[in-house]
């Protein structure tokens, strides 16, 4: 199977499965507990039908949107995800390059493997920095200042991960950073020697955003201990309001799901919110972002930019979310599997297919611009 054989999400996933050691593939592919929410994220789109109009003159279609003050050429963006150089040695560099090619926003995680400064200097496309709230308030301020100095346009605080989800696939393989593999997990690495060769022949794996606090040698702090010891479960709305004031720019909360929380985000001055259940990796059984989208947009859509992520695998999924009022849709596994499969070339192919699907869908629906999408062209079963 080659990259040229990949025409959709499932093809990229299969190619990544063939090329990655099992523990790493399952880290990307897995969810929390019984993975109910993970499966429902995509299924939620299937309960909604598109109602197209015809004879509308759609020779030219404008896919651009403006989100949190950033003009994007397409209505989707690359959500921040952790540990990308573990999946492919190019890591965030590949994702940033592909996002730049398609004129869209990309996110850099505080658990990213390439520095936000390097990426900001290399690519002009809008960049957001995702971070977690730490018990050490000085560390929180230092991370924001570092992003400000680097020229990052959007600050994104993840609020649904004050503790790690119960990801049982990882427990079975022993996946952890640093590696603590079970015998079965080690055997799966032995079956994929090319991954290991790439891993040892490229630059040392690191977390440059947290290199003073998390070490990959098993020393002062592992990823697991980072979540259990450094993040602050006592975080509250007053803490976030203070951060919004201190950043004094485009500030976004990722992981908001309820109408009440959306209203609080608007009240404290957030420019945007992302409806998200973390790809089904945190609270299993939680609501799907697409199912929650309409009522949140109705409540706060005039005051903040509402986005969503989770389960999006097709251009029609993006169109359905935009029709409900989302300003843009975040992609996660949709680009991670292509990254793992083929690096930058994989991500570029995946984003290109998504753009083509959205443009084709717009024409078939009789819409010449994103602003023409509305709930009038949707019906729920």
Mention every residue, 6+ apart, whose C-beta is less than 8 A from residue 352.
102
Burial class of residue 340, CB neighbours in 10 A (0-12, 13-18, 19+): buried
Catalytic residue among 88, 89, 134, 278: 278
CA-based angle 122:120:196, to the nearest 5? 70
Closest C-alpha among 10, 47, 31, 67 to residue 306: 67
Name the token pair of 147.
């992003």
The alpha carbon torsion through 218, 333, 79, 169 (nearest 10 deg) reads -40
Half-sphere exposure of 151 (CA within 13 A, CB side): 10
Query: Do the strands 305-309 and 272-275 form a parallel or antiparallel pair, or are they unpaired?
Result: parallel
* Sign of the CA dihedral running 203, 205, 210, 216: negative
Q: Is the peptide bond before 367 cis (omega within 30 degrees of 0)?
A: no
- The pTM score is 0.94
**202 assigned to active site:** no
DSSP, collapsed to helix, strand or coil, labels residue 365 as helix
Residue 224 CB partners (closer than 8 Å, separation 6+): 164, 176, 177
- Specify whether the CB–CB gap between 272 and 67 falls below 8 A: yes
CB within 8 Å of 181: residues ≥ 6 apart: 23, 173, 174, 175, 189
Query: Is the distance from CB of 92 to CB of 79 less than 8 angstroms?
Result: no
Separation of alpha carbons 257 and 158, rounded Å: 12
First to last CA, the chain: 37
pLDDT tens for the 381 residues of the chain, in order: 899 999 999 999 999 999 999 889 999 999 999 999 999 999 999 999 999 999 999 999 999 999 999 999 999 999 999 999 999 999 999 999 999 999 999 999 999 999 999 999 999 899 999 999 988 888 889 889 999 999 999 999 999 988 888 999 988 888 876 666 676 767 777 778 888 888 888 888 888 988 776 655 554 446 666 777 778 889 999 999 999 999 999 999 999 999 999 999 999 999 999 999 999 999 999 999 999 999 999 999 999 999 999 999 999 999 999 999 999 999 999 999 999 999 999 999 999 999 999 999 999 999 999 999 999 999 999
Per-residue DSSP letter, 49: E
Determine the Cα–Cα distance for residues 106 and 154; give it in Å rounded to an integer.
Answer: 10
Within 13 A of 66's CA, how many CA atoms are on the CB side? 5
């Amino acid at each position: 199977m080659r990259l040229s054989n990949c025409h959709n999400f499932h093809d990229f996933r299969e190619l990544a499965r063939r090329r990655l050691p099992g523990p790493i593939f399952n880290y990307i592919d897995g969810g929390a507990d019984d993975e109910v929410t993970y499966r429902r994220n995509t299924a939620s789109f299937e309960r909604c039908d598109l109602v197209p109009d015809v004879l509308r003159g759609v020779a030219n279609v404008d896919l651009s949107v403006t989100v949190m003050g950033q003009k994007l050429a397409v209505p989707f963006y690359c959500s921040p995800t952790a540990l990308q150089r573990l999946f492919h040695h190019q890591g965030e560099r590949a994702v940033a390059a592909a996002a730049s090619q398609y004129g869209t926003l990309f996110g850099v995680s505080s658990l990213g493997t390439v520095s936000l400064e390097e990426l900001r200097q290399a690519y002009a496309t809008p960049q957001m920095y995702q971070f977690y709230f730490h018990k050490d308030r000085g560390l929180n301020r230092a991370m924001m200042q570092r992003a400000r100095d680097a020229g990052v346009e959007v600050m994104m605080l993840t609020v649904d991960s004050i503790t790690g989800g119960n990801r049982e696939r990882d427990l079975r393989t022993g996946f952890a950073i640093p590696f603590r593999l079970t015998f079965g997990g080690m055997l799966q690495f032995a079956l994929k020697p090319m991954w290991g060769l790439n891993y040892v022949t490229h630059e040392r794996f690191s977390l440059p955003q947290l290199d003073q606090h998390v070490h990959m040698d098993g020393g002062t702090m592992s990823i697991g201990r980072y979540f259990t010891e450094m993040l602050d479960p006592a975080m509250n709305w007053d803490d976030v309001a203070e951060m919004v004031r201190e950043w004094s720019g485009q500030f976004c909360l990722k992981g908001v799901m309820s109408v009440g929380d959306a209203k609080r985000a608007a009240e404290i001055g957030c420019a945007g919110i992302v409806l998200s259940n973390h790809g089904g990796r945190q609270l299993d059984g939680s609501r799907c972002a697409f199912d929650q989208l309409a009522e949140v947009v109705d409540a706060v859509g005039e005051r903040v930019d509402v986005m969503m992520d989770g389960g999006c695998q097709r251009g029609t999924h993006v169109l359905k979310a935009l029709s409900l009022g989302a300003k843009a849709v975040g992609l996660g596994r949709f680009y991670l599997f292509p990254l793992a499969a083929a690096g930058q070339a994989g991500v570029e192919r995946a984003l290109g297919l998504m753009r083509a699907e959205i443009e084709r869908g717009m024409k078939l629906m009789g819409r010449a611009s994103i602003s023409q999408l509305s709930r009038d062209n949707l019906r729920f079963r």
